[in-house]
A and B are shown apart, each in its own frame.
Chain A
Amino acid sequence: MNAALYLACAAVTLACVAGATASAQTPGDTADPSTPTSDEPLVINGCPIWPHTRCPGVDLRHANLVGKNLAGADLRGADLTRADLRGANLATADLAGANLTGARLSKATASNADFRDARFIGADLEGARLMRSDFSGAEFIGSNLEIARFNNAWFVGTRFISNDLQETKFASTNMKDAVFEGNVVRYTIFTQSAMEGCQGCQESWK
Chain B
Amino acid sequence: MRTIPFLVLALAAQGAFAFEPFTPQVDAASLPQQARTWIEPNPLRGSQDAIAIGRIAFNQTCAHCHGMDANGSRMPAPDLRRLGLGCKRIKDDALRQRCTNDTDAYFIKSVRYGKQKFGIVHMPAWEPYLKPELVWSLRTFIENAPR
Contacts and interface: CB of A to CB of B under 8 A. Distances in A.
Contacts of B90: 40-41
Interface in B74-109: 84, 86-87, 89-92, 95, 98-99, 102-103, 105-106
A195 B84 CA distance: 41
Interface residues of A, number: 27
Contact of B3 (A38, A48, A196): A196
Nearest to A92: B115
A134 B92 contact: no
A75 B94 CA distance: 21
A36 interface: yes
B11 interface: no
B22 to A, nearest CB: 26
Given A41-B95, A172-B9, A192 B2 contact: yes
Nearest to B87: A50
Given A48-B99, A50-B99, A172-B9, A206 B118 contact: no
A112 B6 CA distance: 16
Nearest to B106: A52
Contact of B95 (A40, A52, A134, A193): A40
Given A36-B92, A52-B106, A41 B6 contact: no
* Chain B interface SS verdict (over half): helix
Contacts of B147: none
B103 to A, nearest CB: 6
A174 interface: yes
A52 B90 CA distance: 15
A50 B87 CA distance: 9
B5 A192 contact: yes
B117 to A, nearest CB: 6
Contacts of B3: 194, 196
Interface of A: 36, 38-41, 43, 48, 50-54, 69, 72, 112, 132, 134, 152, 154, 172, 174, 192-196, 206
